[in-house]
Amino acid sequence: MDLARHAGLPREAQPHGLSVHSIRPRKVLSALGPAVGVLALLIVLGSPGFVSEALGAPAQWLSPAAVVAAPDGATLYIACATGDRVLVFDLAARKVTQSIATPPSPTGLAITPDGKTLWVTCAAPKSEVCAIELARARITSRFPAGHTALAPVLSPDGRTLFVCNRFHDDVGVFDLPSGKERRRIPVRREPVAAALTPDGRRLLVANHLPHGRADADHVAAVVSVIDPALGRVVDDLWLPNGSGSLADIRISPDGRYAVVTHVLSRFHLPTTQLERGWMNTNAKTIIDLERMQVLNTVLLDTVDRGAANPWGAAWSADGATLVVAHAGTHEVSVINVLGVIEKLARLSTNAPAPLSAALPYSYARAAQPADSEVPNDLSFLVGLRERRPLPEGDWGPRAVVVVGQMVCVANYFSDTLTLLELGGSRPKAESIALGPRPRPQPAREGERYFHDARLCFQGWQSCASCHPGDGRVDGFNWDLLNDGIGNPKNNKSLLLTFETPPAMSLGVRESPEAAVRAGIRHILFTVQPPEVAAALDAYVQSLKPVPSPRLVKGRLSAAARRGERVFQSAETGCAQCHPGPLFTDLKSYDVGTLGRFDQPGDLFDTPTLVELWRTAPYLHDGSAATVRDVLTTANPRDQHGKTSHLTADQLNDLIEYLLSL
C-alpha cells in the first residue's frame, strides 16, 4: 500500500505569501500607551468588526491559568492570562468580588502564609513579578524577572521567592521584600513549574521539554533538583522514555512525595492507531523525596479512554487525595494517592510473577520486574481513582486547588470556575462564570480545538499533545505515515507554517491547510466539520514569533550582529537558502543530512530559522542536539552552506545570531 498517498484528501488552497494577521485591540492599545490608546480605541470601534463587540460581548477573554486559596480557605485568587488581572473570588458567596489589574499575562501565583500578600508572575519577554497587598487590593511592588516568568514559589520563612524563567531556562532567586535578584540557577529546558519541600531544602523544577537529540535511546524531560543553599542543581531526575510536556509539580503536605504531571509519548511506534495509548498516554510520575528518586510513573488513562493533557495537580490538606486536571478531556482525576503508593510499594517488594507453564510465554514478564511495567499499565488506577467530568461547557481545566472537601478548577477556555465536592453519595459539580462571555473569534476557537482531545478518537491526545507551548515542538521524533513508514521525523513548530509552504520536512503536504486536515483525520482519527479545521487554520495563522531570550534590549547583541555578517556572506551561503524575513526560500534540498532511515534522493524543505532558539533538536530527524552540531558534526563536507573555514569566534557569532532570530 502506498502509505504516502493514503490521505486521499482534496488539494487545498494554494500557498500564499506573508499575510497581515488580525490584530487584537488589547495589544494595540497597550502598545500605544494611554493617550494614543483612546484615539486607537475610537478607530478600532469605528471599524465594522468591533462595533457589536463594544456594545455587546466584550472582546477580551480572561483565560484563568492559575489559582491559589487564601490560608483560611474563604477566598480564591485567580490569575487571568489574557485578561491581565487577578480575580478575587469569594467561595461562600460563589462570586467574583474584586478584579485587580496586572501587567500582561499573569500566569503564576503564590500567597504568603499570613494570607496578606499575593505574588504574581506576569509572563512576557521582560516579565514582571508583582506583590499585591490583598487588604488594599493594590500592587505595592513590582520588579523585573527573566523571559516568561512562571510558577512563583515562596520559601517557608517568606524571605525568598523562586521564579521559573521559562525561556531563559533558569530559575531566578529573589530576596524579599527588597526584590533584589540574588542569582539565576540554570536548569535544563523550559522550566514551567516548581515546588519546594516543606523544610525548604530542595526545590524541584519541572522542565517542560526533553533536551538533547531526538534519535537517542532515551528521550525524556527531567525534573531538576535544586539545593537553594548551594544555589545550584544537585540532581536531574530522569522521567521514563517519552516523557514530555511536563505541566505541574506538587509536593505532598508531609513532604514525602512529589507528583509531576506529563504526557508519556510512545514516539518509537509508528502512528498507525490510537488504541490503548499507542501514540500518547497521559501520566503522573511520583517522586520519592526521601530517596530523591522516581518511584514510578502511573498512567491516568483507562484502557479505552484517554485522559489527555494532564495539567494542574493539587493535594488535599491531609495528603490522602491528589487531584489532576485534564485540560484535553475536561475532567479531573480524583486519586486515592495513598492507595497508589501502597500498591507501588507492594509491587516493588514482590518478586516478579513467575513464568507459568500454563500461561503463554511473556517476553515482558520474563525480562522485567513487575514495577517497571507500571508505566504501561492502563488499569493500574482501577479502584484507586475516580474520573469526574466537568459540567458541559467548562473547557480546558488547567489549574486546580483543593480547599477542604472542595475541588476548585479554573477553566482556561471557558472563563469558568468549576467547584466539585469530594466524597458524599451524590457529589455536586457547579460551574460559575468568571466574567461575561466574549463573542467567539476564529483564532480563539481554533486555539480551544487545538487543545481539545474531544477531537480525538477516545480522547487520547489533542494537537497540543505533540505541539505544546502554543503550537511549537515536543522535542520528539514521530513516524507519521504521510511520508511512508519507518522514517521518523522530528516534530515541527507551527509558527509561520502558513507563510512557509509546503508542510512537513519532506514537503509531502503542499499546503498547511492540508496538513491541518490530515492531522485531524490521520493523527486524531476523527472526522470534524469544516468549521473546526478552519478555526485551527486561524489559530495557527495567529501565532506570533516570541522574541529570543538572547536579544539585548530587544535588539541583536554585538556578537549576533557579527554573526549576521557571517550568515549573509557569500562564502557561507546561508542567506541564499535562508533569506530573511522568513529565513527560507521555500525550496527543498539535499544538504548532506540524510540519515539511516531516509531514502536516497530525499530532499528536505528548507525550514524557517525564526524562533530557532526554542525548537531544538534540529534537522528533519532531530539528530542535531544544538545549532553548533548542525554547523559542525552534521556538516562534514560543507554541503550545508560552507562552515569548515569559520574560526571558532566566527562560529560562535553565527550561532549567537541564529539563536537570536
Residue closer to ligand HEC, measured from CB, 18 or 355: 18
Residue closer to ligand HEC, measured from CB, 263 or 399: 263
Task: Tell me the closest approach of the beta carbon of residue 613 to ligand HEC, in angstroms.
Answer: 11
Residue closer to ligand HEC, measured from CB, 87 or 480: 480
Task: Tell me the closest approach of the beta carbon of residue 376 to ligand HEC, in angstroms.
Answer: 18
The backbone region for 573, taken as left when phi is positive above 0, alpha when psi lies in -120 to 50, beta otherwise, is left
Task: Tell me the closest approach of the beta carbon of residue 505 to ligand HEC, in angstroms.
Answer: 4
Question: Whole-angstrom Cα distance, residue 540 to residue 199?
Answer: 44
- Give the orientation angle of helix 34-46 with respect to helix 48-55, to 10 degrees: 110
- Output the CA torsion sign for 179, 183, 185, 186: positive
Question: Whole-angstrom Cα distance, residue 453 to residue 640?
Answer: 39
Q: Where along the sequence are the contacts to ligand HEC (CB under 6 A)?
A: 271, 279, 461, 463, 465-467, 478, 480, 483, 489, 491-492, 494, 497, 503-506, 512, 515-516, 519-520, 523-524, 536, 567, 572-574, 576-578, 589, 591, 593, 604, 606-607, 609, 612, 615, 618-620, 627, 630-631, 640-641, 643, 654, 658
Task: Tell me the closest approach of the beta carbon of residue 200 to ligand HEC, in angstroms.
Answer: 39
Per-residue burial over 399-435, b if 16 or more Cβ lie within 10 Å, else e, is bbbbbeebbbbbbbbbbbbbbbebeeeeeebebbebb
Strand partners, 164: 150, 171
**Parallel, antiparallel, or unpaired for β 160-165 and 149-154?**
antiparallel
Strand partners, 503: 509
Do the beta carbons of residue 498 and residue 475 sit within 8 Å? no
Task: Tell me the closest approach of the beta carbon of residue 164 to ligand HEC, in angstroms.
Answer: 25
Residue closer to ligand HEC, measured from CB, 380 or 583: 583
Which grid coordinates are listed for 546? 516570541
Residue closer to ligand HEC, measured from CB, 20 or 570: 570
Query: Could you tell me the CA-to-CA distances from 640 to 66, 390, 573, 634, 656 in Å, in that order?
Result: 45, 52, 9, 9, 18
Dmax over CA atoms of the chain, in Å, equals: 83
Task: Tell me the closest approach of the beta carbon of residue 371 to ligand HEC, in angstroms.
Answer: 27
Residue closer to ligand HEC, measured from CB, 184 or 522: 522
Task: Tell me the closest approach of the beta carbon of residue 628 to ligand HEC, in angstroms.
Answer: 10
Residue closer to ligand HEC, measured from CB, 416 or 643: 643
Residue closer to ligand HEC, measured from CB, 196 or 466: 466
- DSSP 3-state of 552: strand
Residue of 217, 199, 123 whose CA lies nearest to 157 = 199
Which grid coordinates are listed for 400? 486546580
- DSSP 3-state of 142: strand
Residue closer to ligand HEC, measured from CB, 432 or 577: 577
- DSSP 3-state of 466: helix
Residue closer to ligand HEC, measured from CB, 298 or 494: 494
Task: Tell me the closest approach of the beta carbon of residue 412 to ligand HEC, in angstroms.
Answer: 18
Question: Whole-angstrom Cα distance, residue 398 to residue 248?
Answer: 9
The backbone region for 396, taken as left when phi is positive above 0, alpha when psi lies in -120 to 50, beta otherwise, is left
Helix (H) or strand (E) holding 312: strand 310-315
The total of other beta-carbon atoms located within 10 Å of residue 278's CB is: 14
Task: Tell me the closest approach of the beta carbon of residue 405 to ligand HEC, in angstroms.
Answer: 37
Do the beta carbons of residue 178 and residue 141 sit within 8 Å? no
Question: Whole-angstrom Cα distance, residue 345 to residue 323?
Answer: 21
Residue closer to ligand HEC, measured from CB, 80 or 514: 514
Residue closer to ligand HEC, measured from CB, 61 or 498: 498
Task: Tell me the closest approach of the beta carbon of residue 281 to ligand HEC, in angstroms.
Answer: 12
> By Cβ distance, which residue is nearest to ligand HEC?
641
Task: Tell me the closest approach of the beta carbon of residue 577 to ligand HEC, in angstroms.
Answer: 3
Task: Tell me the closest approach of the beta carbon of residue 444 to ligand HEC, in angstroms.
Answer: 15
Strand partners, 305: 302
Task: Tell me the closest approach of the beta carbon of residue 100 to ligand HEC, in angstroms.
Answer: 36
- DSSP 3-state of 245: strand
Q: How many residues does this entry show for the chain?
A: 661
- Give the orientation angle of helix 530-542 with respect to helix 512-522, to 10 degrees: 130
Which grid coordinates are listed for 295? 518511584
Residue closer to ligand HEC, measured from CB, 60 or 461: 461
